[in-house]
Amino acid sequence: MISSDSEPEALTSELSQADIAALGVDAPAKHEGHGKRHLPIIIAAVVLVVLIVALVAAFFGTRWYYKDKAAPGVHLGNVAVAGQDAAQLKQTVDREAKNSKVLVSDGQGKKTTANFKDFGVTVNVDKTVQNLLAAKGDGASRVIPFSKSNVKLVAKVTDLPIDTYLTNAFVKDNEKAVPSSIAFNGSNAFVVQAGRGGRAPELSSVKRCVNALIADPGQVQTAKITYKNVDTPISQNTAEAAAASANKLLANKIVINNGDASKFEVPVAQLASWIKPDADLAKGTITLDIDKDAITNYLNMEMPKELNQEMVSQQDIIDTAGNVLLTTTKGVDGVKIKDVGPVADQVYSALTSSQPATIQAAADITKFDVKQTKPQMRLVVDKSSQTVTVYKDDQVVQTFPVCTGRADHQTSTGTYVINLRYATQTMRGPDYVTPGVPWISYFNGGQGFHGAPWNPTGISTGDPAGHGSHGCVNMNVSDAKWIYDNCPQGSLVQVVGGQPTGPVR
């Protein structure tokens, strides 16, 4: 008798199927049905995981693609710019700004079509591009195409250029109301241009059109103007006060240096170009704005040209003990300007506060190296003995009699190098012209060794007091030729000793 439910299962593990059948016990059931029931659930889960992974990959891939481009749904006004990089956006902004126009009429037969440039509207293209790239932020919503962001132009509108353009277009010269204004005279100051009362166009309808084009550029807007009789829109006293304030700004020097050897002062005319008079015709005022973008653009161009320096190795001539006898080339550090932004900020701050400024630009510095050489030939001119002694590797090889400069044109004491030579030359001075001077070796400006066949007495007696030169070292012709032949450019010259009052030989 089988007394337990578990016993048939234990027995069947040891019996054949035939044995089990003979005993009258059912074979254990297989469980394939359970696996078949769960299969659709497993497949659905796998598909879901794959979809999630694909969506995540697509999301991050899309964010990466639009990292440096305008996001989906971004518009300049109503122009879609999604996917455009900075260069493409700049072209779009330029195009739409240039295509923005206002058709103006007065209802009396006069009309004109004007653009932003005509109205003096300044569009900051770079800032507009930055705003387009930054639209929709950098979060998850950035890449959602159904979310739309309309970006307008970054632009500045002032009354005076609009008034000037419309007045010139619609009002006869003898009827114009002209505001007093200021302008840079091209030299060193702002001057007043006096205005007068008269007939003037009403600006409000045109300004509404201009503002609409800033929000939605690339369109043609239509405006109808009316006229009004006005006193001088801006008084001469107001303009004189504005000119005085502007000239006070120009009086403050702004100097920029690189922390080393180079500096430059911003020219007055350049400072004037950054000062923008802003006339408010409705209020009758003139305020002064400082154009920071213009400052930055100027400094980006000029600072590298004015302040960057190539490194120049210092060239020293030394003696056998290593002492520096002469620096023939002074070393110059290499300088490369690396950040214009802080300088532009300081220039802007100096102008807005009407203060002079000396500004040091940040720069990468390459320290100059020093190259030392020992002269093969050294010539010592001793004025007290009226001789020149030639050394080669510090060994005396020749001594020659000479006659140096007279008391009022003494041969200059100091250390020099031979830097220029002529086999023959016509020598000129304030009170002499001497043609055919032979074997000249210059070492200090116009002072040098040369043959002086006209001065045998001065050379033989060593008498610069009575027979001295204009500063050169007079020598016998053959001696001067020896120096010319044996002492090349770069040879060291040392002039020592005191000036004699008479012959020394």
pLDDT reported for residue 8: 39
Q: Which domain holds residue 279?
A: 252-316+324-372
Q: Kindly give the interhelix angle for 292-307 and 341-352, rounded to the nearest 10 degrees.
A: 120
pLDDT category of residue 172 using cuts at 50, 70 and 90: very high
pLDDT category of residue 3 using cuts at 50, 70 and 90: very low
Q: Which residues pair with 299 in a beta bridge?
A: none
Question: 187: Cβ–Cβ under 8 A, 6 or more apart, which residues?
Answer: none
Q: Mean per-residue pLDDT for 90-117?
A: 96
Residues 183 and 223 in one domain: yes
Q: Is the pLDDT of residue 13 over 80?
A: no
Distance in angstroms (rounded) separating the CA atoms of residues 69 and 80: 12
pLDDT reported for residue 63: 59
Q: What is the pLDDT of residues 15-48, one digit of tens each?
A: 445 444 444 444 444 445 555 666 777 777 777 7
pLDDT category of residue 78 using cuts at 50, 70 and 90: confident
pLDDT reported for residue 40: 76
Is 247 domain-assigned?
no
Q: Mean per-residue pLDDT for 391-395?
A: 91
Residues 165 and 196 in one domain: yes
Q: Which residue has the higher pLDDT, 147 or 399?
A: 399
pLDDT category of residue 1 using cuts at 50, 70 and 90: very low
| Per-residue tokens: 421 | 């030579």
Least confident interval from 131-140, 273-282, 478-487 = 131-140
Strands 447-451 and 473-475: parallel
| Amino acid symbol at 99 | N
pLDDT reported for residue 35: 55
| Per-residue tokens: 197 | 């009362």
Is 68 domain-assigned?
no
Q: Residue 474 is part of a domain; what is its CATH number?
A: 2.40.440.10
Q: How many CB atoms lie within 10 A of CB 259?
A: 14
Q: Is the pLDDT of residue 385 over 90?
A: yes
Is 40 domain-assigned?
no
> Of 238, 270, 300, at which residue does a domain stop?
238
* Average pLDDT of the chain, as a whole number: 89
Residues 478 and 412 in one domain: yes
Residues 356 and 402 in one domain: no
Burial call 468-499: b when 16+ CB within 10 Å, e when fewer: bbbbbbbbbeebbbbbbeebeeebbbbbebeb
Contact by Cβ (8 Å): 176, 155? no
pLDDT category of residue 166 using cuts at 50, 70 and 90: very high
Residues 296 and 445 in one domain: no
Residues 89 and 207 in one domain: yes
Residues 180 and 107 in one domain: yes
Residues 362 and 386 in one domain: no
Residues 329 and 426 in one domain: no
pLDDT reported for residue 121: 96
Is 47 domain-assigned?
no
Is 390 domain-assigned?
yes
Residues 83 and 180 in one domain: yes
Q: Is the pLDDT of residue 131 over 90?
A: yes
Is 36 domain-assigned?
no
Q: Mean per-residue pLDDT for 62-84?
A: 85
Is 177 domain-assigned?
yes
| Per-residue tokens: 4 | 């337990």
Residues 304 and 176 in one domain: no
Q: What is the pLDDT of residues 268-292, one digit of tens each?
A: 999 999 999 999 988 999 999 999 9
Q: Mean per-residue pLDDT for 328-344?
A: 94
The model's pTM: 0.56
Q: What is the pLDDT of residues 198-224, one digit of tens each?
A: 998 999 999 999 999 999 999 999 999
Q: Is the pLDDT of residue 49 over 90?
A: no
> Of 238, 267, 301, at which residue does a domain stop?
238
> What's the domain count of the chain?
4
| Per-residue tokens: 242 | 């504005």
Cβ-in-10-Å burial (0-12, 13-18, 19+) of 35 comes to exposed
| Per-residue tokens: 176 | 């114009």
Residues 186 and 257 in one domain: no
Q: Is the pLDDT of residue 415 over 70?
A: yes
Is 504 domain-assigned?
no
pLDDT category of residue 59 using cuts at 50, 70 and 90: low
